[in-house]
Structure 1
Amino acid sequence: MIPFNNTMDIVESDDQLGETSEEDSELSDGQLQEAFAKGLLKPGLNFATEEKKKSVNNVEGLKQCLADFRKNTLPWVERLDLVNLPAEDIVAKSEGKLDNKASGNINPDDDFQREMFFYRQAQAAVLEAMPRLQKLKIATKRPDDYFAEMAKSDQQMQKIRKKLLMKQTIIEKSEKAKKLREQRKYGKKVQVEVIQKRQKDKKAMMSAVKKYQKGMSDKLDFLEGDQKTVKGGPPGKGAGKGAGGQTSDKRP
């Protein structure tokens, strides 16, 4: 009987725990619904509450920064600031018209007048700044070997340039060697053709000589080739061959 009572107590305690957990879950569901209605729920398991941004209006600090800007302690080459009127309108001057835009008297709603005013003011700034920069010996043109505005240093760009030049040199050498190999192949081919032609001519001449010696032919056409060789080539070799041919003819 005692074990039975213990089991009953355990079952009752489990039921009580289940009821309390259901109440907690109901409360948590209600909180979630309230947070969802307020738009506080975000994707994910957790969500962070939004804190109000604090706006800072440091008047004294702003005034101090403005005073530092007005000091103009830096030289002009570091600031490059100019205050000038727009450049003279050459077209209006040639037509004899009064230039009211030079004093800034323009219609701000007219896009063309406004843009032309900015354009002429930029022209005036260039006309004033260029002589000052040249006087300070500051380069105003990019060098011929300039690549582009990059975050890398000039030393790194010089290394890149050297690599590019090296690659170009290697390619040129390779192409030159290829042409030389082709020329050598062509020269060898021509040389082989010349040697084959000489051997063919020599063979034909020897065959004609043998036929003449055996009486199979009475033509001396093969001697004409030797005479042409004597006229065009060294005299010694041609003369010797001709003499040899004549002595062989006189033999019985």
Structure 2
Amino acid sequence: MVEIDEDPQLGFDSDEDDEELSDSELQEAFATGLLKPGLNIPLDKPKKAINNVEGLKKCLAEFKKSLPWAERLDLTNQPAVDIIAKAEGKQQPSEGNEDINAEDDFQREMYFYRQAQATVLLALPKLHKLKIPTKRPEDYFAEMAKTDQHMQKIRKMLLLKQTAIEKSEKAKKLREQRKYGKKVQTQVIQNRQKQKKAMLSAVKKYQKGMTDKLEFLEGDQDQRPKGSAAKKQINKKGPNAKKKYKDQRFGFGGKKKGSKWNTKDSHDDVSGFKTKMAHGKGGKKGGKGGKMNKRPGKEARRKMKARK
């Protein structure tokens, strides 16, 4: 039988930890009150944390001696000046005395941001002094985290969204134009109805003898659109060269049949009569003395042939 000592954590302690207790021994220990009801799990003693500050500083000093700063890139500095607090006129805390609420996410992240900003301002001059480039060259090609196929899919999706937005905007503009066109059309119809109503009332007044003015007839001429007036002004200038040629060649239309018949006025008009042209006394084919060379008759020509 194995002896069981009382323990505040386990309820019992065994000298031989590797050996397992039998059922009878456990029952006897429970009967004597050495075991408590529930799970009995052995607990390891908590490890004691050793904060060896001197050893850590010694290791850090060894690292600094063995590696140059370009390989370590370590900097210890205070955060940059809080611009927002400075603009608001708040008093800036001294180095290391700034109270940061760790539970406030914005304040904590801003503190990290300011510290990184101050570190960059200190590191850049050192890197430039060591002639280490701090900007990416123009011909630098980095490996993308996403594949080209994935980026093509994203590009197609963006193009589809853009075309959908453009279509919706065009449809919206068309709807607005239609609304405006309908509004203008209804306004024009209403104006015409008003003018027609005013015209009918003026005509009725004139028919009943209530007025003797005909100004309502001149209103239509004044209300004509500007296009017709401009067209009239263009027509006043006269026809173009093509129209003039056609008029000269084909006339101005109207009745053609019987246009050359003599009338009483044309018969009595003798201003165009010329005595030289009358009875063959003159003309283009006139010979000496103004007489024309007439062709001999048929019998005279037959005799002339017989003589030959």
TM-score by length of 1: 0.40
Larger Rg belongs to: 2
- State the structure with bigger RCO (CA 8 A, min sep 6), 1 or 2: 1
TM-score by length of 2: 0.34
